């Protein structure tokens, strides 16, 4: 597969099986927080940004599971999702740039990054990836850990860099990091869907204060 830097392109090796949509207990909560992030402009689609392609994704991992549920590829432009817009990651191996997934839609192009966060910390139950120009511009003033500019989204190198952050314990105090090689890319995570989302919103508020 040719690796393109175009936004939204799946760069990892994907084994995908199309299956009917599934209900899961956390669906309503996950979708509610995702809608809030959409209304804040952190997830969405804008004809003037990123070639007009959709951006942002959110995932959830049940307790004691290696599998996780993530929003599907190019769903960022929809204000509300149904269970037809979620994919289940059955297994992920960042070291081999490989994901096995099933569901009614292919998983987000950022699924490998989500998988790396889950692999790095067993306590993490939710990961949120958004695009926020104001957080991204002020990541140093916010004291956020950051992935180096030469590392691009959805790649094995990105997954390894994420693991490197955790190995250096950088995200422990503030579970948000910037992806400097991915324009406006910000990731947050937490022990619950609410925790991951609220941390991101608090970081946005701090960034807005700095920019004023």
42-74 residue pLDDT tens: 999 998 888 888 999 999 998 878 899 999 998
**6 in any annotated domain:** no
**68 in any annotated domain:** yes
Range of the domain at 121: 13-211
Segments of the chain scoring below 50 in pLDDT:
1-6
Q: What are phi and psi of 50, to 5 degrees?
A: 55, 40
DSSP-derived secondary structure letter, 193: H
**Do 210 and 141 form a contact (C-beta atoms < 8 A)?**
yes
Q: How far apart are CA 198 and CA 144, in angstroms?
A: 16
**160 in any annotated domain:** yes
Question: Does the model's pTM come out above 0.95?
Answer: no
**169 in any annotated domain:** yes
Domain with residue 71: its CATH number is 3.40.225.10
Q: How far apart are CA 102 and CA 21, in angstroms?
A: 9
**77 in any annotated domain:** yes
pLDDT for the residue numbered 9: 62
**What are the CA-CA distances from residue 84 to residues 24, 45, 54, 64 (Å)?**
12, 19, 17, 24
**3 in any annotated domain:** no
pLDDT for the residue numbered 171: 65
**29 in any annotated domain:** yes
**139 in any annotated domain:** yes
Task: Please count the structural domains in the chain.
Answer: 1
């Amino acid at each position: 597969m040719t690796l393109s830097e175009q936004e939204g392109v799946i760069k990892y090796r994907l084994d995908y099986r199309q299956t009917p949509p599934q209900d899961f207990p956390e669906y309503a909560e996950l979708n509610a927080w995702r809608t809030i992030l959409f209304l804040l402009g952190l997830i969405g689609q804008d004809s003037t940004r990123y070639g007009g392609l959709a951006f942002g994704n959110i995932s959830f991992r049940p307790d004691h599971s290696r599998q996780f549920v993530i929003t599907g590829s190019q769903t960022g432009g929809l204000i509300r999702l149904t269970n037809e817009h979620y994919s289940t990651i059955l297994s992920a191996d960042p070291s081999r740039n490989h994901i096995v997934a099933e569901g009614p839609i292919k998983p987000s192009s950022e699924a490998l990054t989500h998988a790396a966060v889950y692999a790095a910390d067993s306590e993490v139950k939710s990961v949120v990836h958004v695009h926020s120009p104001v957080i991204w511009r002020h990541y140093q003033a916010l004291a956020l850990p950051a992935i180096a500019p030469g590392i691009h989204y959805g790649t094995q190198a990105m997954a390894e860099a994420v693991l490197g952050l955790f190995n250096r314990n950088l995200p422990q105090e503030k579970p948000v990091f910037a992806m400097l090689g991915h324009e406006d890319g910000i990731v947050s995570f937490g022990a619950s869907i609410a925790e991951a989302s609220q941390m991101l919103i608090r970081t946005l508020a701090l960034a807005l204060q700095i920019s004023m």
